[in-house]
Amino acid sequence: MGKSSSKKQASMIFVTKTPLESSQQTALRTHPISDTKVQNTTTVVYPQMYKGHFDKLILSNYDIQKRCKEMAIYIHNTYPHNEPLVLMCTLKGSAPFFSMLCNELSLVGHPYMIEFYRAQSYEGLSSSQHVKMDASQLPKSIQGRHLLIVEDIIDTGLTMQKLMEAVETKNPKSCKACSMLVKRLEQESGNTTNQVSFEQELIGFSIPDKFVVGFGLDYNQMYRDLRDIWILNETGIKYGGFEK
């Protein structure tokens, strides 16, 4: 018969962490970096090969799902029910959040269409000033319809700004950004680094200016598979990702 399972090398590691509690109970949830203890804990799981790569758990999958439900209700109460809302996922990082948001919209019975678009501005750890975009590849379905561009994270906002400018040439009925995360960036040379205005109800969480991975967010294509969102530490950075 087969070998005893106790002799097999574990393929996953289970860790119990204390999720960080929101410091403000508002639509825009701010998440500080702290060791504040809360009563409830959450059990998270990640591949064994990632052991030692993270500093802190920022957001659990439960946190994200709960917020998605709230955002879906807001969207349902904001947009018409007699026409489809176009949800455009920016690949690759937004895919898990996009899927969860779509599911929550289905549960409240809101009509929508799904589209995908790929624009890239990250190189390694930093947001590049060179946004790769092909406006000719934008879907035709956005013309004359309400559009939500679904992002994983808004950093400097340059990518979203360029994308919204391109989208406007397709004459949508409206166009707004919907993002799982937005970074709280300090002002540089007197100018705010976040270049996109957004509705607080369409932003999941506001996080500190740290490099985070998981739930679609990657470092050189690594860590997208995590269910939760973590701060990457020096060990993870030195590993170099899957595309070194």
The structural domains of the chain, with segments of one domain joined by +, span 18-124+136-239
Which amino acids are annotated catalytic? 155
Residue 190: pLDDT above 80?
Answer: no
Name 232's bridge partners: 54
**Mean pLDDT: which of 6-20, 159-173, 224-238 is highest?**
224-238
Mean pLDDT of 183-197: 57
More confident position, 44 or 15: 44
> Left if phi > 0, otherwise alpha if psi is -120 to 50, otherwise beta: which for 214?
left
Q: Which fold has domain 18-124+136-239?
A: Rossmann fold (3.40.50)
Helix axes 61-78, 95-107, angle to 10 degrees: 50
In the predicted model, what is the mean pLDDT of residues 187-193? 42
Report strand pairing: 29-30 vs 126-132. Answer: unpaired
Q: Say whether pLDDT at 83 is over 90.
A: yes
* β-bridge partners, 230: 57, 213
pLDDT-derived band at 188 (thresholds 50, 70, 90) equals very low
Give pTM, 2 decimals: 0.79
Cα dihedral 66, 227, 32, 103 sign: negative
